[in-house]
Every structure is written in C-alpha cells, then in structure tokens.
Structure 1
Amino acid sequence: MAEALWTGVAEAYARSFAGLCAGAIPAVLDGLPKGGRLLDVGCGTGELVRAARGAGADAIGVEPDPAMAAMAGTALDDDVVVAGLPDLPLAESGFDAVTANFVLNHVDDPRAGARELARVAAPGAVVRATIWGSTPPPQAVMWNGLLDSVGAVRPPVPRLPPGRDFDRSAHGLAGILTEAGLAVTAAGTRAWTWRVPAHDLWTGLTSVGGFGVLWRAQSAAVQARLRSAYDALEPRLAFDVECVLVEARVPRS
C-alpha cells in the first residue's frame, strides 16, 4: 500500500522531491569508512550512490520501481537491481555500510524492512536510516493551506495499520532498528533549507505520494482554483526542513 504511492512517478519525483531528499545525503555519508562496500536501499535517482562513490566507497544501489531504477542506472552508468525491502536478492553480511534514505517511512512493513537492512550488513557494519518525523513539513503545511483556501476535499490518505506502523521520531526509528538486532549508536535530527523552483515542485505535488492522492481527489474546478492560488507564490520556494537520522551497527558476535 505505502509503496504503491511511489510507483510510476519517477520523472515527477526526480524534478521535485528528489532534491529534498538529497539534502540529507551529506549527513548520511559523513564519517563512513573509506573504500568499503556500501549498499543504498531505495536509491531513487542514484544521487546517494553517486556521492558515496565520489567519497571513495564501492557503492551500489537497489530500487523497487523499475522506472526509477532505470533512471538511476543511466545516471550512474551502472546496473541498479530492481528490488525493495524486505526481499533483497543479496547475500547476507555483504556490506560494510547500508543506507536507507527516506525508505522505512514508505514501505509496507517497516520492521521487516529494518531486519533486511541488518541481514545484508556485515558484522561491525554501519546502518544509517532517515525518515520524516511526525510533524508536518513546511511544504505540506503550505500545500494544506492552499487546499483549504480553495475548498478542496480531504480524502483519507492510505496509512499503515497500527500494528505495522511506528512512531515517526528518533526514538521510534531507533526502536525498530534495535528490534532488528542492531545496536543504535546515534539518533537525532538534521536540518537544512530546501530550495526548489515552483514549477518543479508543482509536478511533485500533483503526482507523488500522498500529495498526489489529494490532487487526484479534487474536481476539475477545484484543481483550477488550486493552480491559480499556487501560481501566486514565489517562482522559487525555500523550505526549512528537518529529518530524523539514526545510526546503528551490526554486533560483531
């Protein structure tokens, strides 16, 4: 269910929210061992893999959406395996570092996903994961304000059942990594400013994830009013965003 919201939107994501997620990459890669094997799970457009290679890692990516995997493969000049959590076609204990940048908040079974991150990581390896916290991000606050201003309907956005969901916080993410057998070594937040052209963000807001669900639920008249309200904004937008980042290690014994 959660993953289905991100299928078939590769081009729109690349123009919009890929730039948002890329803001966490420096923190995700900071201080990782040089020269080790790194796996990026849910690699999206391949930007984290590219940055990791630039920093000296032997990095590869896997991505569940075929169109996104093809896009990343072209950018990286390398094959990207089409696969996603919790079923990666990779041997256990094969990587010195495993990253999941905004992935565990978009899978159908986050705990099973965390166990798979642990499975493919070697003893002593670092696992780093990011998610968006429970506080609505500023781009969502902006979008919700526009929806309210034009009288938009609010259909329910698909959510995980309570038994599979987890608290979207540093404590909650650390908890599911601990349940997966990992030893959490750091848990906190990272902040940055995301700047995006309004026309690129519009592409994402009207197609990707829960934003797309809300857009598609509106009548043609409401969509037209929403577009007019959006066009009145600045041509380039800036949002002060924050994510949760947790680091854990695979026990050596």
Structure 2
Amino acid sequence: MLQTPFDESERRAWAGSAAAYEAGFGRLCAYTVPQLLDAAGVAEGVRVLDVGTGTGSAAAAAGARGARVVAVDAEPDMARRAARAVPDASVHIAALPQLPYADGQFDAVVGNFVLNHVGRPRVALDELRRVTRPGGRIALTLWAAPAAPGQALLGRAVQAAGVSRPPSLPALAPEDDFPRTEDGLVGLLGGADLRGAVCRTLSWDHRTTLQEWWSGPAAGVATVGRIVRSQGAAVAERIRQQFAVLAEEFTDEGGRLVLPHTALLASGRVAGPGPSSRDEPRVPGARP
C-alpha cells in the first residue's frame, strides 16, 4: 500500500487550501528557500525538481537562479496556483512516494517541509533518490521536534481549550517515524544511501499578526485547521480566545507577533559519478 491513512488524511487537510495557506503559513515556509536551494546546488542550467511545491515559492526562486524547474504537489489547488505563479516551470500533480519521472532525470531535488506530510518518509526519500542523477544532490527541510515556542503556539491553544486530536486524524505510524533532530535526519538520508549527508538547524523569528496567524486554522488549513474546524463554532471560538491569550507573550510593542521557529536543513549526494567532495555545495555550519 503506497498511500497510508496518514497520507489520505494529509490530502483532506490541504484540499482547496492554497489561497489560505499562501496568506498565512506560506510566508513562514518561504523563509528557508534560499538556504534550501544553496544546499542542493541549484544554479543556472540545473535541472531541479521541487517536490511538494505548495504555491511555488521554491520553484520561483529556483527559476530566478536560471534553473530548469519542474514542480509537483499532491494538492491540485496548490499545483494550479504554483503554475500561475511560476509560468516558466513545468508543474504537475503528483504525490510521494510515486513520481511520474524517469530514473536520474534531475540534477537536484528539493523538498521544503515535504517530509512532514508523507506517511512513509523512508520510502519517499528512496523515490527522491531514484529521480536524481548519480552525483546529483537532494536537499530537504523539516520542522524540528520538540517544536520551537512560536511553532507550538497554535497547538498550545488547542490544548488549553481542552480539545484533543480527533481519532479521524491519524498520526504517523511509529515504524515510519524518525527523530526530528539533526542526527535523526542525517540518519534518514544515510539510510537512503545518500553520501556526505549533512544537517544544520535554522532558527528565525517569524513576524505576523494575530489575525493573519489565526486565518489559517480558521480556514481549516493543515492539521491544526482540521482540528479547529471539526469542533463546531463554539469550541473553535474557545480555541481562538485561548490563542489570543497565549499570543500575548509573543506580541511586540507594535502589536505584531514575533514567533520563534526552528527547522532542520539536510542534504546529501546520490552515489555515482559527480563532483568530488571538495566541489560539493556545503551547508554553512553543518557537521562534516
């Protein structure tokens, strides 16, 4: 079975959410794009695949570097929006762990937080390696665990309102999970036979507003949005009120939210002919 209950739940969580995602969470996720492309060695003429493109921020940035860009997303609404935003890219609807491309078709593959949304991360990574040429690079970002305080804010509000995760939202199966740490992600890449795997932590403050940050859950975006929407109007309002209270500790003098976030950035090279280790792109601050 290629699609797990977790995968199916993710499809429902993101269905029709492109506009709401772009207006809120999309700005947050775009922060890591330049570092992600650097780690994959994306430059002029490079054939790059952006997996889980969302509304196309990584694809657009790769195109601006002169790369030849193909992008995919499992959600048709996301793929349509990315195609409009990045007209020079070839954008398709496709979901891991099955991609409609030939072995070794790309020089580089990037996935900005895509591993957070697949039910079988190891199988998904094997597929990314399959479509990358020998000597090509794969670079991925992933939300770290435990979550940074700003990232945990919405979940804390749900808990403070006395709401539990509904049984209809399955978690990743234990046998498919892995530590969301630098070592855990390096181990995952190494297990997929990627050479020279490195990882570093990215930390930043995401600046937003109370209204913008609540707009995603209110619109049903992502898992937290499905939880909010599943509770009915009265409970959803209780969650919103708890969110407003908890958000006070992150509010600056100008009334904006300053939310600390932490992500992992990892990369590795597909075995085979390619640049020597001296010539490979390096992730600043990564372990050798």
Same fold (TM over 0.5): yes
In 2, Cα distance between equivalents of 1:147 and 1:106: 20
Matched with 2:91 is 80
Determine if contact 2:113/2:143 at 8 Å carries over to the other structure. yes
In 1, Cα distance between equivalents of 2:98 and 2:43: 27
CA positional deviation for 1:94? 1.1
Distance 1:185 1:144, change over 3 A: closer
In 2, Cα distance between equivalents of 1:158 and 1:209: 13
Matched with 1:249 is 269
CA positional deviation for 1:178? 1.7
Matched with 2:3 is none
Say if 2:226 is the partner of 1:226. Answer: no
Matched with 1:24 is 32
Matched with 1:12 is 20
Matched with 2:186 is 174
Matched with 2:43 is 34
CA positional deviation for 1:224? 2.4
| Structure 1 vs Structure 2 CA RMSD | 2.0
Determine if contact 2:42/2:48 at 8 Å carries over to the other structure. no
Distance 1:38 1:80, change over 3 A: same
Distance 1:34 1:146, change over 3 A: closer
In 1, Cα distance between equivalents of 2:77 and 2:52: 13
One-letter amino acid of the counterpart of residue 139, structure 1: G
Say if 2:143 is the partner of 1:132. Answer: yes
Matched with 2:207 is 195
State the secondary structure of the residue aligned to 1:163: helix
State the secondary structure of the residue aligned to 2:19: helix
Determine if contact 1:152/1:218 at 8 Å carries over to the other structure. no
In 2, Cα distance between equivalents of 1:128 and 1:194: 22
CA positional deviation for 1:216? 2.6
Determine if contact 2:47/2:108 at 8 Å carries over to the other structure. yes
Q: Show CA shifts across 1:36-70 (max 9, x none).
A: 11111111111111111112222221111000000
In 1, Cα distance between equivalents of 2:237 and 2:172: 31
Determine if contact 1:124/1:249 at 8 Å carries over to the other structure. yes
**TM-score normalized by the length of structure 1:** 0.91
Matched with 1:60 is 70
Q: How does 1:92-111 map to 2 (within 5 A)?
A: 92-111=103-122
Q: Which segment drifts farther, 113-122 or 237-246? A: 237-246
Determine if contact 2:72/2:94 at 8 Å carries over to the other structure. yes
* Structure 1: stretches of 5+ with no match in the other structure: none
Determine if contact 1:153/1:217 at 8 Å carries over to the other structure. no
Q: Which segment drifts farther, 226-235 or 240-249? A: 226-235
Aligned counterpart for 1:237 among listed residues 254, 257, 260:
257
In 2, Cα distance between equivalents of 1:237 and 1:60: 35
Determine if contact 2:147/2:261 at 8 Å carries over to the other structure. no
**TM-score normalized by the length of structure 2:** 0.80
In 1, Cα distance between equivalents of 2:235 and 2:75: 31
One-letter amino acid of the counterpart of residue 235, structure 2: V
Determine if contact 2:157/2:240 at 8 Å carries over to the other structure. no
* Structure 2: stretches of 5+ with no match in the other structure: 1-5, 274-288
Aligned counterpart for 1:155 among listed residues 156, 161, 165:
165
One-letter amino acid of the counterpart of residue 38, structure 1: V
CA positional deviation for 1:148? 4.6
CA positional deviation for 1:71? 0.5
State the secondary structure of the residue aligned to 1:69: helix
One-letter amino acid of the counterpart of residue 142, structure 1: L
CA positional deviation for 1:138? 2.5
In 1, Cα distance between equivalents of 2:17 and 2:58: 19
State the secondary structure of the residue aligned to 2:137: strand
CA positional deviation for 1:219? 4.2
Determine if contact 2:217/2:226 at 8 Å carries over to the other structure. no
In 2, Cα distance between equivalents of 1:237 and 1:97: 35
Q: What is the aligned-residue identity percentage? A: 37
